[in-house]
Amino acid sequence: MNFFWVINGKRFKQYLIILIASFFAALIAFVEGKDLEVFKTKEGEPRAIYKGEKQGKKIALTFDVSWGEKRIHEILDLLEKEKVKDTTFFLSGEWAERHPDIVEKIVKNGHEIGSLGYRHKSYTELEDNEIRRDIARAQEAIRKVSGKSTELLRPPNGSFNKNTLKIAERMNHTIVQWSINPDDWKNPGADRITETVLSKAGGGDIVLLHASDSVKQTRDALQDILRELKDDGYTFTSVGQLIANTDSKKNEIK
């Protein structure tokens, strides 16, 4: 009888090890399957997205624009030449009002428009009512020149907190950050910008680039980025398409 229990005890341990291994394998698969990465407060509270689904080789190129008109034409012309649509341009409302022809070109070429606020002033430095006014004013300015209401918001300078998230959600905007930032606004060299993006690129990434006149190397870097990513099997998609109908990971905002 004792021998019987020893044998069964060994089998029980084996079964237990298999069960535990299966549990952790399932847990890893579950976590990896939650492909939309977000900043989030508590469960059910507003979120800020910085990465989309990993399924397939889809990547979102985004461009922040707050002043000037030379660089953005260069970038739009390159995107058109390379037959790339469905990128996302985050525009400041003040800039959009001054350049309705360029906004029209963005829309006509098949790109998505998001809001960069109105005056490009950090929301963490503003009172709640000032944030609400800035979001609303930017949305109205962009709507007037594009015919489209914004639903995506990139806070100026990327600065936000829990309060900003709640205000944005109440105003039907989703805050969008990024997972790859080559700091092209610092003009570190076209090769450095290209290398940073290509070395980090993966399915679901959101790439932060700029199209204001201060960036002098982004267009040249973009040419290589587009061709290399295409050759590697990537397709380009807007942020809105990337994040639609997907699950999410959660990272707490302090």
According to the model, what pLDDT value does residue 107 have? 97
* pLDDT, greater one: 252 or 180: 180
CA 89 to chain centre: 11
Asked if the model's pLDDT at residue 246 lies above 70, the reply is no
pTM listed for this prediction:
0.81
* pLDDT, greater one: 59 or 17: 59
179-228 pLDDT, tens per residue? 999 999 999 999 999 999 999 999 999 999 999 999 999 999 999 999 99
According to the model, what pLDDT value does residue 22 have? 40
* pLDDT, greater one: 18 or 151: 151
According to the model, what pLDDT value does residue 245 have? 56
* pLDDT, greater one: 162 or 1: 162
Name the band, by pLDDT with cuts 50, 70 and 90, for residue 121: confident
Q: Which residue is associated with the tokens 């990327």?
A: 158
Asked if the model's pLDDT at residue 40 lies above 70, the reply is no
Contacts of residue 31, defined as CB under 8 A and 6 or more positions apart, other chains included, come to 249
What backbone phi and psi angles, to 5 degrees, belong to 159? -90, 125
Q: Looking at the domain 36-252, which fold is it? A: TIM Barrel (3.20.20)
According to the model, what pLDDT value does residue 94 have? 96
According to the model, what pLDDT value does residue 56 have? 86
Distance, in Å, from the CA atom of 130 to the CA atom of 254, rounded to the nearest integer, reads: 22
Domains of the chain, residue spans: 1-33, 36-252
According to the model, what pLDDT value does residue 244 have? 86
Asked if the model's pLDDT at residue 30 lies above 90, the reply is no
Q: What average pLDDT does the chain have?
A: 84
According to the model, what pLDDT value does residue 220 have? 97
CA 181 to chain centre: 10
The torsion defined by the Cα of 228, 232, 236 and 239, in degrees rounded to 10, comes to -100
